[in-house]
Structure 1
Amino acid sequence: MATATRPVGWQRAYGRRLAVTDTLIVIAAVFGAQQLRFGQAADLHIPRISGGGFGLAYTFVSVLVVVAWLGSLKMLGTRSQQRVGGGWDEYRLVLDASLRMFGLFAIAAFLLQVDVARGYLLLALPVGLAALVASRWAWRQWLGRQRAHGRFLARAVVVGEHSKTLHVARELQRDRTAGIVVSAAITERDGSELLPGVPMIGSLDDVVAAVEHAQVDTVVYSGSDLISPAKLRQFGWDLQSRGIELVVAAALTDVAGPRLHARPVAGLSLLHVDSPEFTGARYITKRAFDIIVSGLALVLLSPLLLMLTLRVRADGGPALFRQQRVGLDGHTFTMFKFRSMVMGAEAQLADLLAASDGNGMLFKMRDDPRVTPIGRTLRRLSLDELPQLLNVIRGDMSLVGPRPPLMSEVSDYEAWAQRRLLVKPGITGLWQVSGRSDLSWEDSLRLDLYYVENWSLADDMVIIWRTVRAVVESRGAY
């Protein structure tokens, strides 16, 4: 069995590594920007800024920027134990902390009438921010390799009502990035295993003894009516005295952190959940982002689009394949793709259904005989989807969103699945960066609904970046 380092120990050590890297990057970015912007005079004169009746050396300003930047990263919890090592929140906080610091710096310079050279700041911010994000990504790759060898992991026991415990254990096993390995479970039922490899130990009558005997780092409490609030409080105290971390799993799943707000009321920890927004300024911003990025992409990729158009037409037939899909609020639209199959491919579908490699709802074949030679290349690199940039410009689709469904799929939707139609479908989305055709229907739908409920522009940018990686690696593309 893999050995585990206590969460507090490894997370603090990992946080110190991040702190050292952050410090080196910020110093290099700020003082590098100063050197590139001003150089070094032959008489070693330090360039000075003036305004408001006083002057400051740029070196002193750079020191202030470095201290403020590092302080902002610290205050916003970019290296906190709950943030590092998994999820997108770490990157979002790094971006947020950096932009807030430079925004406050600009306001302070304006109020003090200090004429700071804009080129100096415009060099330091993007370079430093890009380097910070890249370093966090690199550290995560290192952490992933360590976890693959059984290090930097938290071994956990899941405690609570059987059905809730089963759900929590499955979700933790699904997402390995959290670094939590479910090693055992304690419920009100008797049995040998909760899941394969997750034995049932002890009972709810003597949880502390069972947990202590299991030699774990973390206890995940999934909830149970058999454990009273007073007993749970005592349970938390007992775990604290033994250096074991207690994590309480909320029954509400697939809700992103920014929508959750903990609030203590009358000794209770109430979890407030913001309602998802489907209109307003955020979606106006999303539409503007779609138009600008897709417009630039069409201009920059126009030579490639022309070349692909001529190559597809050389196989005989039109370059574009048009298909009716279901979009926002259930309205249908014509989706464009480069044609990747022979003419009359739809008529051959009935003979191939039995050989489908899809997820039950969608027809997919790894070696579909109807795909043309150029079509295989287009699909492997996802180049067949480039014409959908026109759909984005027209307003039928977004750059990021749920997968655009067929009308036959939507007709079989249950009522709750209709929520994926509350936003525009996307060229890419969580479904594409999480496995694409290799996903089950349930996982694909779950990811789409998670996106609908928790969309943000920062997450869209991360998904676009992950899409580039998925396309390069050709994961799940056929």
Structure 2
Amino acid sequence: MIQERQNLLGHLFRLGDLLILCGAAWVSRHLGGALVSHPPFPEDSGAIWGGFFFLSAAWLFVSWRRDLYVSRRTENLLHEISALAEVLLFSLGVAVFASYLFLGGLPFEPLATLLVAFGVFGLERMVLRTSLRFLRAKGFNYRYVLMVGEGRAAEILVRNFHSNPSFGIRVLGSITFGGEGGKRLQSLRHFGSIQRLKSVLSNYVVDTVLLAPSEMASVHEINQVLQLCDEAGIPCNYAPGFFSLQNLLPEVVWYGNVPAFSFHTKAGASASFAIKRMIDVLVSGALIILLSPVLILFAFLVWLHDRGPILFKQPRSGLHGKVFQCLKFRSMCLDAEDKLKELAKENEQDGPVFKIKKDPRITPIGRFLRKFSLDELPQLFNVLKGDMSLVGPRPPLPSEVVQYDWWQRRRLSVRPGITCIWQVWGRNRVSFQRWVEMDLYYIDNWSLWMDFKLLLRTVQVVFRGTGM
């Protein structure tokens, strides 16, 4: 019953937010001119309805795929706002792309829509959370939880529930695997061993069972708890406290009818990274088409200098160390690799990476391309192919990877990118260790919003000409 009510509320909130988004898009038709100049909005009703259809369809699909409307009573506001921003940005991106592709123009102003919708969404969430906090303090909108287990995770969960009444969770009591003589959780009513679980579920209101066993619990006992919860139709959340996750997030994957725990970094979250991949394909494909005259011009200038190859293809290590051919406009002389050994002693970068500011191997056109990071434009084809992403740690050479310390190998847990934190905030001014730390910070804190901010910052850096 509770699950059905949560699903109904989720559908109502999704519909309400969709109306807010469409309202923001309609308002943007009048506010857009105050923010940016743009061609007149189409007045044809078909184009208007078409644009709003694309926006609505994108919002409904992405919000469902991102699980935006699941219960978030134990999450903080920042996490919810971050997820909301990701869904909003991607929905607008899809709507803009589809409107230009099928309608030939936009019936709303994207930037104004983004600002208005995000502002209203943020205010809505703050008011809702404040109201729920007040109601839960008065004893409303709470859930009864039964703790099964005596592991370290159980102790942490109980402390969290007691210190955060705004969660609206009341711990009914505990059942332990050790029986009457086993370890008990302080401040909780003890119902006894798991042999009493069926009786407790029958005689008390239990909304959720939290299973947090210690290392001593047997597989048979854990399976017994799961079986009883399944028979009673009560959700059971499993908190295996004997795993030291640190930067890993758990997820259940299915191999046929066999479930398995999958532990991955935040950047390995399948749903969010599917959205990231879609953005990579759409943006890289669009940029290749839009910049094709510029790409042809640069290709001709590179060839004109010494009649040599236009592209420089170099083996690089990608996702999980898979080697691919990374593309660049050739910016060095034809015998650059032969001269590398002679210049090795002048390396200005620590670690396994070779970099010097005034590299004599760079050609005049190459110096211009590098100054504005334009030599990396062919990597849009790497992004389109799937070897790279728009944003991610820069792809290292295989010879550099073999020199990595063990902790540095986590850089390979995501697709490499054209730009990342090091590209826009550090570049050659930081040590190799700090460079890797920046990449790991990106991996552990990744979000679509972070990618969006890094892309905007990259545009600023490119126009400023701080490459090389």
Partner of 1:32: 27
Q: Indicate the SS of the match to 1:261.
A: strand
Give the alignment of 1:195-214 within 5 angstroms. Answer: 195-214=185-204
Q: Per the alignment, do residues 452 and 183 of structure 1 end up closer, same or farther by CA in structure 2, a change over 3 Å counting?
A: farther
Work out the CA distance in 2 between the residues paired with 1:174 and 1:394: 44
**Comparing 26-35 with 185-194, which one deviates more in the overlay?**
185-194
Quote the Cα distance in structure 2 between the aligned partners of 1:199 and 1:421.
51
2:67 aligned to which of 67, 77, 84: 77
Q: Which residue of 1 aligns with 2:315?
A: none
Secondary structure of 2:240's match? coil
Alignment-derived partner of residue 206 in structure 2:
216
In the TM superposition, what whole-angstrom CA distance separates every residue of 1:359-398 from its partner, at most 9, and x where no partner exists? xxxxxxxxxxxxxxxxxxxxxxxxxxxxxxxxxx9869xx
Question: How has the CA–CA distance of structure 1 residues 453 and 33 changed in structure 2, closer, same or farther, with 3 Å as cutoff?
Answer: closer
Q: Quote the residue 1:108 is aligned against.
A: 98
Measure how far apart 1:123 and its partner are. Answer: 1.9
Distance 1:66 1:185 in 2: 46
- Residue 47 of structure 2 is matched in structure 1 by 57
Please point out which of 150, 172, 182 is paired with 2:139: 150
Q: Which amino acid is 2:262 matched to?
A: H
For residue 285 of structure 1, the aligned residue among 414, 420, 423 is 420
Q: Percent identity?
A: 18
Query: 1:121 aligned to 2:84?
Result: no
Partner Cα distance (1:47, 1:118) in 2: 6
Aligned partner (choices 81, 84, 94) of residue 84 of structure 2 = 94
Structure 1 residues 9 and 110: alpha-carbon distance in aligned structure 2, compared to 1, 3 A threshold:
closer
Contact residue 422 and residue 452 of structure 1 kept, 8 A: no
The 1:59–1:421 alpha-carbon spacing in structure 2 relative to 1, beyond 3 Å, is closer
From 181, 206, 211, the counterpart of 2:170: 181
Q: CA deviation at 1:224?
A: 5.6
1:178 to 1:129, Cα distance in 2 relative to 1, 3 A: same
> Residue 218 of structure 1: CA displacement?
1.2
How far the C-alpha of 1:226 sits from its partner, in A, is 7.1
TM-superposed CA distance for 1:250, in Å, is 2.6
> Which string of whole-angstrom CA distances, capped at 9 and with x for unpartnered residues, describes residues 279-308 of structure 1?
8868963346768xxxxxxxxxxxxxxxxx
1:260 matched residue in structure 2: 250
CA–CA separation in structure 2 for the residues paired with 1:254 and 1:179: 26
Amino acid at match of 2:68: T
Q: Deviations over 1:409-460 (max 9, x none)?
A: xxxxxxxxxx999847xxxxxxxxxxxxxxxxxxxxxxxx9x8993336798
- Secondary structure in structure 1 of the residue aligned to 2:191: coil
* Cα distance in 2, alignment partners of residues 58 and 459 from structure 1: 28
Q: Which residue of 2 aligns with 1:169?
A: 158
The residue aligned with 2:366 is: none
Question: What is the distance in 2 between the residues matched to 1:84 and 1:262?
Answer: 21
Find out whether 1:133 has 2:268 as its counterpart: no
Does 1:250 find its partner at 2:240?
yes
5+ residue gaps, structure 2, are: 35-39, 267-409, 452-468
Q: Per the alignment, do residues 199 and 66 of structure 1 end up closer, same or farther by CA in structure 2, a change over 3 Å counting?
A: same
Q: Are 2:4 and 1:15 aligned?
A: no
Q: 1:62 & 1:459 partners in 2: Cα distance? A: 23
User: What is the distance in 2 between the residues matched to 1:452 and 1:56?
Assistant: 42
- TM-superposition CA deviations, 1:113-167 (whole Å, max 9, x none): x432497222223322332233223222222222222222222111124555334
Q: Is the 8 A contact 1:158 1:219 kept in 2?
A: yes
Letter in 2 for 1:454: D
1:272 to 235, 250, 262: 262
User: Corresponding residue for 2:444?
Assistant: 454
Q: Distance in 2 between matches of 1:421 and 1:174?
A: 38
- What does residue 365 of structure 1 align with? none
CA distance in 2: counterparts of 1:152 and 1:283, whole angstroms = 47
TM-score w.r.t. length of structure 2: 0.51
SS at match of 2:180: coil
Give the letter aligned to residue 203 of structure 2.
H
Equivalent position amino acid for 1:31 in 2 = W
Shift of 1:78: 0.6
- Counterparts of 1:409-428 in structure 2 under 5 Å? 423=437
- Structure 1 residue 192 displacement after superposition: 11
Unmatched segments (≥5 aa) in structure 1? 1-5, 40-44, 50-54, 292-392, 397-418, 425-448, 462-478
Pair 1:266–1:59, CA change in 2 (3 A):
closer
Tell me, in whole angstroms, the C-alpha distance in 2 between the residues paired with 1:237 and 1:189.
19
